Amino acid sequence: MKIPAGTVDVFLVVTLLVCCYTDLKERKIRNVVLFPAALLALILHILLEGGAGALLWIKGLGAGIGLFLIPFALGGIGAGDVKLLGVVGSFKGAVFAFHAFIYTALIGAVLILFFLWRKKELWPTMVRIGRAIKLFFYSGFRLWDLGEENKAVAVPYGLAITLGSFVCLAGEFLC
């Protein structure tokens, strides 16, 4: 069976768009989308490349999940975001997942600044960060809890993952 060129990319784009939509609308990235997408990526890779495709899938899935484990453990992103980057890796491989991770981080930083500005929390957040850095240096590099309430601003990071992945896809297409 011959699979048309670009099929993997089309399914990845559809998956990213659906997950981005649900993250923006409901602040959820659904497993009912992610798990079938990862399975589809495995099937496509096996059909296209056999055992080498399965290995690409495993490495990509692991890299995508692994890159977001620390931010997830620190409470910076949700489990859906971790799984979504894993699915990106399962479609395109570990190197692509790493590049998407870098672009996602850059785009995510801009989105975070935008959401903080929109909620009128940008300046207070910068002041708290400056105070924490000052305390960190004056305390001999010990970490302190500033005792302030957590004013976290939720950012739909699925948007950053989608845009970061699109940048990588565009780079592949143009090169």
pLDDT tens sequence across 86-120 = 999 999 999 999 999 999 999 999 998 898 888 88
Tell me the mean pLDDT in the region 123-150: 70
More confident residue, 105 or 3: 105
More confident residue, 42 or 126: 42
- Please classify residue 60 by burial: count the beta carbons closer than 10 Å to its beta carbon, then call 0-12 exposed, 13-18 middle and 19+ buried: buried
Closest CA to 164 of 52, 20, 28, 39: 20
Tell me the mean pLDDT in the region 149-175: 83
Tell me the mean pLDDT in the region 118-126: 86
Q: Is the pLDDT of residue 130 over 50?
A: yes
pLDDT of residue 172: 85
pTM over 0.85: no
